[in-house]
Amino acid sequence: MGVELVIERISHQKLYRLNDTVANLSCGITSQLSGLFMRVLAIGVYVVLFENFAQFQLTANWLYWIALFLLADLAYYWAHRMSHEINLFWGGHVVHHQSEEYNLSVALRQSSFQVVWTFAFSLPLAIIGFIPEHFILMSAFITLYQFWIHTELINKMGWFEHLFNTPSHHRVHHGRNPKYIDKNHAGTLIIWDKLFGTFQQEEERPTYGITKPINSWNAVWANFSHYADMGKDLKRIPHLTDKIRYLFNKPGWLPDYLGGYQAAPEVDKKSYKKYDQPSGMLLNLYVLFQYMLCITGTALFLFNTAKFTLPEKAFIAVLIAIVVVNCGVMFENKAWVKVSEWLRIILYPALLAVIVNLYELSFWLYILAGAYFIISAIWFASISKQQQHVQITS
């Protein structure tokens, strides 16, 4: 991302927006936090199946690793494809497509619930006999491979395009243009899309995002927005059979008596505008300050999760989630976030002081808590005063 930002500055391209990048990273953080609880379940099911129902005792030779790669990548393709073609599953994947930008931070924009709908696609590998640790390693490789393809800085790649997923192929996948919808679901190998009829060559550069923009930087709402829309639609559908069809048909499906399938509309390049809200430099720097502290704290927590009990993990996850939600919604200038941020500025240092006292930790942590409170309170008060002045003058 640092390299991409440097190239952006040198080439004068507009690849990043602070509010969008913060929202992307926040969705990545909430995904990691929820993964502490959900991924353990998914891996646990794989292990149980492997230990009790594996049909073969496979030898980990070169053929084994090639077969594991191909089958894991194929399982990813179908899990990803169904995440686009089943409305219920789409609610667990839509988060990754909500950004209207296309840069490396989008690769980190992940859903908190997708694993619930997709982990079952890999379970046949456990029954075949692929060792859980090896499957986890291969799945990590397939996921990491896809990081670099979230960029506009790399164009066509010649022969490589015929076999592998590339930035050009994946830009298509993130497009909201009708001809790009539900195309190029590959993880590593693009051959699956070509084999199963979902391949689309990049022609003009896509317009990114989803057909019904979320228009919010709130990472938690990003994970629930589609399900909220589904809830509204389900209330309009009177028949149980149609409600079930709605859950498992493609996103956009409705019964004929409610208008039928709602296809993706064409993008009017002249009228289309990305969601944005003006924010001053004072607010931008404040969010960056809070966010860097949050990322540091989150990293320390994730690297040390084994030291915490399950209730402690849940409590810390909530504390982190409040920070990332506030950091995103402050860009929206919502009234409630001002109250939420003031409460956080007061309560978080107080909580740190209580922990220091209970566990008899270093006295310097009291000073750190006090310094954080003073800096944050003065800074946020200045932002609030500036925003009030802008509202009065406008």
pLDDT tier at 270, thresholds 50, 70, 90: confident
Least confident of 11-25, 165-179, 265-279, 372-386: 265-279
In the chain, what percentage of residues exceed pLDDT 90?
90
Q: To the nearest whole number, what is the mean pLDDT of the chain?
A: 95
Residues near 274 by beta carbon (within 8 Å), at least 6 away in sequence: 100, 101, 209
Q: Which position has the token pair 């931008």? A: 284
Grade residue 38 by pLDDT with cuts at 50, 70 and 90.
Answer: confident
Residue 386 predicted with pLDDT over 90? no
Positions of E strands within 296-344: none
Give the C-alpha separation, 31 to 161, whole Å.
30
Q: What is the percent of the chain where pLDDT is above 70?
A: 98
Give the pLDDT score at 361: 87
**Residue extents of the structural domains in the chain:** 2-196, 281-393
78/120 Cα distance (integer angstroms): 11
pLDDT of 138-160, one tens digit each?
A: 999 999 999 999 999 999 999 99
Whole-angstrom CA distances from 323 to 26, 70, 386 are 9, 40, 22
Look at residue 390 and tell me whether its pLDDT is greater than 80.
no
Res. 287: pLDDT tops 90 = yes
Q: Is the pLDDT of residue 340 over 90?
A: yes
What pLDDT, on the 0 to 100 scale, is given for residue 392?
63
pLDDT at 391: 63
Residue type, 264: A
What sign for the dihedral angle of Cα 282, 286, 289, 295? negative
Q: Convert the pLDDT of each residue in 295-327 to its tens digit.
A: 999 999 999 999 999 999 999 999 999 999 999
Q: pLDDT-derived band of residue 360, with 50, 70 and 90 as boundaries?
A: confident
Question: Can you tell me the distance from the alpha carbon of 114 to that of 79, in angstroms, rounded to the nearest whole number?
Answer: 10
DSSP assignment of 240-282 equals HHHHHHHHHS-TT---GGGTS--PPPPP-TTT---------HH
pLDDT digits (tens, 9 = 90+) for 158-181: 999 999 999 999 999 999 999 999
pLDDT-derived band of residue 278, with 50, 70 and 90 as boundaries? confident
Q: What single-letter amino acid sits at 85?
A: E
What is the C-alpha to C-alpha distance for residues 97 and 151, in angstroms, rounded to an integer?
A: 14
pTM over 0.75: yes
pLDDT (tens digit per residue) in 113-139: 999 999 999 999 999 999 999 999 999
Residue 273, token pair as written in the block: 């505008």
Confidence bin at 90 (pLDDT 50/70/90) = very high
Cα distance between residue 362 and residue 91, in whole Å: 45
- What is the distance between the alpha carbons of residues 316 and 300, in angstroms, rounded to a whole number? 11
Task: Kindly state the average pLDDT of the residues 49-67.
Answer: 96
